[in-house]
Amino acid sequence: MTPVPVITIDGAGGTGKGVVSQLIAKKLKWHLLDSGALYRVLALAAQKHNVSIEIENESALTVLAEHLDVQFVAVALGEFPRVLLEGEEVTNIIRTEKTGNSASKVGALPAVRSALLNRQRAFRQSPGLVTDGRDMGTVVFPDADVKIFLTASPHVRAQRRHNQLKERGIDVNLSDLVEELTERDRRDQERTVAPLKPAMDAVLVDTDFLTIDEVVEKILSVVKQKI
Ligand code: DC
């Protein structure tokens, strides 16, 4: 039996991987895994259950990860799902910079990452999966059919994040954002387990001068050649 096809889209925050993955999943009518959302929900669960995110609490956080009661409710294949933690709507709360930072901290703990591995692999369902994250092509789906790694300069990424937040009515300082993104990158790249880096067989796409549609087109042309 041939395995269900997978397209992995990895990269740092602000490279556009979230929206690009969603558009590709929608176009192909495949499932979508936003792995960052899992780490974000776990960070929120830790806050809810008063477990602070530090190395000393790795086993408590691992237990939380193993029992994480999270639901992704998609209206249709490839659509961004609503996210529920213990039955409670957290779709918007998980998107704040604060939760992103806590997600990066909780994601630096090796036992927590292992606890979330099978949960992520379970998203591999017919007719196919598009998945976005940091280690999708390197660790979670090393046998993926197409691996993409998106890049963009820190300034462009901060500007995109700034626009995104502004659209949601959240006004943040641009230079604070550059600083936060750089700090988060450093943590994601330097962690010992599953650091943010391209898989050996990933196709690198620099998105600095490309629109979202152009990035999607580029990836779809790679998909056409390989699948
Ligand atoms: O993609 P995102 O911004 O939603 O991810 C938030 C954080 O979660 C990111 O800074 C690091 C962590 N993360 C991870 O460690 N591994 C993943 N596959 C996805 C996210």
Whether 55 is in a domain gets the answer: yes
Give the closest residue to 32 by CA, choosing from 81, 69, 70, 71: 81
Q: Is the distance from the beta carbon of residue 40 to the nearest atom of ligand 1 less than 6 Å?
A: yes
Decide if pLDDT at 78 tops 80.
Answer: no
Whether 149 is in a domain gets the answer: yes
Q: Is the distance from the beta carbon of residue 128 to the nearest atom of ligand 1 less than 6 Å?
A: no
What is the C-alpha separation between 155 and 175, in angstroms, rounded?
9
What's the alpha-carbon Rg for the chain, to the nearest Å? 17
pLDDT for 50 equals 97
pLDDT for 171 equals 83
Q: Ligand 1 centroid vs 27 CA: distance in angstroms?
A: 24
Whether 129 is in a domain gets the answer: yes
What is the extent of the structural domain holding 178? Answer: 6-214
Whether 18 is in a domain gets the answer: yes
Whether 225 is in a domain gets the answer: no
Whether 80 is in a domain gets the answer: yes
pLDDT for 76 equals 86
Point out the ligand 1 atom lying closest to the alpha carbon of residue 101: 10
Q: Is the distance from the beta carbon of residue 10 to the nearest atom of ligand 1 less than 6 Å?
A: no
Based on the structure, what is the number of domains in the chain?
1
What is the C-alpha separation between 113 and 117, in angstroms, rounded?
6
Whether 223 is in a domain gets the answer: no
Q: Is the distance from the beta carbon of residue 113 to the nearest atom of ligand 1 less than 6 Å?
A: no
Give the CATH number, domain containing residue 87. 3.40.50.300
- Express as a percent the part of the chain with pLDDT over 90: 81
The residue nearest atom 14 of ligand 1, judged by CA position, is 107
CA distances from 187 to 13, 59, 163, 223 (A): 12, 20, 24, 31
Tell me if 45 sits within 8 A of 68, measured CB to CB.
yes
Decide if pLDDT at 3 tops 80.
Answer: yes
pLDDT for 121 equals 98
Whether 16 is in a domain gets the answer: yes
DSSP 198: -
pLDDT for 216 equals 98
Q: Is the distance from the beta carbon of residue 107 to the nearest atom of ligand 1 less than 6 Å?
A: yes
Non-local CB neighbours of 22 within 8 Å, separated by 6+ positions:
32, 78, 79, 80, 130
pLDDT for 64 equals 98
Tokens of 188: 């994601």
